[in-house]
Amino acid sequence: MEAMLAQALQESKFKNGSIIEGTISAVKGDDVFIDIGYKSEGAVSASEFGADASVKVGEKVTVMLVQLENEKTGMVELSKRRADEKIRWEKILERYVEGCVVTGTIKSAVRGGLLVAIDDVEAFLPGSQVEVAPVKELEPYVGQTYDFKVIKISNERRNLIVSRRELIEGTLAEKKAELLGSLQKGEVRKGRVKNITDFGAFIDLDGLDGLLHITDMSWGRVKHPAEMLKVGEELDVMVLDVDRDRERVSLGLKQTTENPWNTIQEQFPVGARVAGKVVNLAAYGAFIEIAPGVEGLVHISEFSWTKRVARASDVLNVGDEVQVVVLSVDIDNQKIALGIRQTQDNPWDTVQERFPVGSKVSGKIRNFTAYGAFVELEEGIDGMIHVSDMSWTRKINHPSECLQKGQEVEAVVLDVNPKEQRISLGLKQAQTDPWSDIAAKYAVGSTVKGKVSKIASFGAFIELEDGVDGLVHISQISDQRVEKVKDALEVGQEVEARVVKVDRGERRIGLSIRAMTMSDEELKALEAEAAGEPVEPVSSKTAGSDSLGGLSAAFDNAFANVEWQPGESK
């Protein structure tokens, strides 16, 4: 029984993969023969001992039993190299566990990462575990010594997988928690610009990122954070808010300086003249920076005393240096109204001296409206001629009937209103009023010649001298009944007629072609009626519409029932 037990124990010792201690019995060529106490010796390649190792008969050596009987040689197959690897790996398992921290030196870059020498163990550092942020180039890390965290022990490959990133993140997390707990609102901290976005910048507070919003960068206008900051730049920022639950920190840069609006009225009192720079243009005006963080608006109405500015960009460009005057300050809404024209003399202040009422002026027709024409008296100063002040004799419906753009005209100043910046001019007032001596020139009963200038349903207008028109009512065209004026007269036709009525107040002259056949007695009676003397009927023949009273009545009726518009075109 004892012999059988001894044999069983002996056989259990010789299992494939077991580590056995043996003695070198012989060295023949490249083979080293080792006695492991089995019925036959095993052979190990001399190369497994190393190039510099000495191999002596009788020395003890530890080997791995690979196979008791090799199929080809029939000998016991042993391996010193595999025994060394197994022993080394078992020692590694004793020394290292997943999660422990080790120190190692990066030996070389390989596909997918780096090889790290940790004591006598070679570990693998994946590229994704080198830094917190992705790393593009791995070569610069070769030769560097760092602390690593063992994240996996692979028995199959007998290697360690380590991470530097997890250590950094752990350190940062601790540092972040500590910093988050120590931050206080209102305190100023040093930081470094880590990233810039359209809405602000992220500032690294040495382990914790805070957001510096674009609205908290400057007391003035900031179009984009890149205008003020650069990645990597160091700066002092104020802690505006700390949300420890969400781990968010709001920062301010402008809050580290005094708000210029606190002393704005002392710096820029109303009426003060200051220099500024155009920082932005809008359709309605220009924004001028008059101090760091302080901008004011020049509305387009405040650009010039005389010029009509449609868009600010027609006058200014971003970056222009300008002189402005402070018009108003609204501290609550942080608004300043500025003016450019106030830096110049207002030509309207002295316009009454240059263009007194009653004086004659000359200028060029610049523009028309439905109700008048604008005359440029000097650069930026226009006067307006109303249609009612264009002609003594005709009703003008539109200025283009008697004027042309660019035409030089002479007019009389009728009114000057500097406050409203208006000058009223009269075209007809610069000419003699033909109606001033109309009664003497066109005595009742006198014969006149003229051309038909217009035909209406109620009569025909006859153009006399000096642009004066007289009206022949349809009833006074002929002794015969006239149904339509155009059947008896046509525009441009020359006619003779007698003056039957003159109304200077209403600027009307009544004419009669029929009256050309009146007798001398009737003409004398007509003259007496015009002079205001009583008139007796001459005879039964002239009674009614043929009498003087009839002619006058016909004329009055004509003007009572029609609109007097001799100046209108047909």
Read off the tokens for 396.
């003008």
Evaluate whether 89 touches 98 at the Cβ level (below 8 Å): no
Cα Rg of the chain (Å, integer): 58
pLDDT score for 548: 46
pLDDT, tens digit, 9 for 90 and up, residues 442-481: 888 888 899 998 898 889 998 887 778 889 999 888 888 8
User: Strand 508-512 to strand 469-473: parallel, antiparallel, or no bridges (unpaired)?
Assistant: parallel
CATH architecture assignment, domain 183-256: Beta Barrel (2.40)
CA gap 545, 86 in Å, rounded: 148
By three-state DSSP, how is residue 555 classified? helix
Evaluate whether 191 touches 256 at the Cβ level (below 8 Å): no
Read off the tokens for 267.
């710096």
For residue 374, name the pLDDT band (cuts at 50, 70, 90): very high
By three-state DSSP, how is residue 547 classified? coil
Class of domain 434-561: mainly beta
- % of the chain surpassing 90 pLDDT: 28
pLDDT score for 384: 94
Judged by phi (left if over 0) then psi (alpha if -120 to 50, else beta), residue 533 lies in: beta
pLDDT, tens digit, 9 for 90 and up, residues 198-220: 999 998 888 788 999 998 888 87
Question: DSSP states of 102-130 as a string?
Answer: EEEEEEEEETTEEEEEETTEEEEEEGGGS
Read off the tokens for 263.
């002393």
pTM of the model: 0.45
pLDDT score for 565: 53
Positions of E strands within 225-378: 234-243, 248-252, 273-282, 285-291, 294-299, 321-330, 335-339, 360-368, 372-378
213 CB-side CA count, 13 A: 10
The better pLDDT of the pair 335, 569 is held by 335
In CATH, what number does 260-343 get? 2.40.50.140
pLDDT score for 532: 53
Residue identified by tokens 């930026």 is 380
Average pLDDT over every residue of 84-90: 80
Average pLDDT over every residue of 48-66: 81
Question: Judging by beta carbons within 10 Å of its beta carbon (0-12, 13-18, 19+), is residue 501 exposed, middle or buried?
Answer: buried
The mean predicted confidence, pLDDT, of the chain is 83
pLDDT score for 113: 92
pLDDT score for 535: 45
User: Strand 42-45 to strand 76-79: parallel, antiparallel, or no bridges (unpaired)?
Assistant: parallel
In CATH, what number does 2-82 get? 2.40.50.140
pLDDT, tens digit, 9 for 90 and up, residues 376-416: 988 888 999 999 898 887 778 899 988 999 999 999 999 99
Return all residues near 324 (Cβ < 8 A) that are at least 6 apart: 273, 274, 275, 276, 288, 290, 296, 298, 338, 339, 340, 342, 343
By three-state DSSP, how is residue 87 classified? helix
Identical fold for domains 2-82 and 96-168, yes or no, is yes
> Over 80: is that where the pLDDT of 494 sits?
yes
* Residues counted in the chain: 570
By three-state DSSP, how is residue 410 classified? strand
The better pLDDT of the pair 521, 187 is held by 187
CA gap 293, 259 in Å, rounded: 8
Average pLDDT over every residue of 256-282: 87
Right CATH number for 96-168 from 3.40.50.1820, 2.40.50.140, 3.40.50.10140, 3.40.50.720? Answer: 2.40.50.140
pLDDT score for 422: 92
Sign for the CA dihedral angle at 398, 399, 403, 405 comes to negative
Give residue 442's Cα distance to chain centre. 71
Evaluate whether 507 touches 467 at the Cβ level (below 8 Å): no
The better pLDDT of the pair 507, 64 is held by 64
- % of the chain surpassing 70 pLDDT: 88
CA gap 220, 201 in Å, rounded: 17
Give residue 329's Cα distance to chain centre. 25
User: Strand 145-154 to strand 459-463: parallel, antiparallel, or no bridges (unpaired)?
Assistant: unpaired
Distances, alpha carbon 412 to alpha carbons 358, 375, 384, in Å: 6, 12, 11
Return all residues near 173 (Cβ < 8 A) that are at least 6 apart: none
Superfamily of domain covering 348-430: Nucleic acid-binding proteins (2.40.50.140)
Sign for the CA dihedral angle at 106, 109, 114, 116 comes to negative
Q: Would you list the domain boundaries of the chain?
A: 2-82, 96-168, 183-256, 260-343, 348-430, 434-561
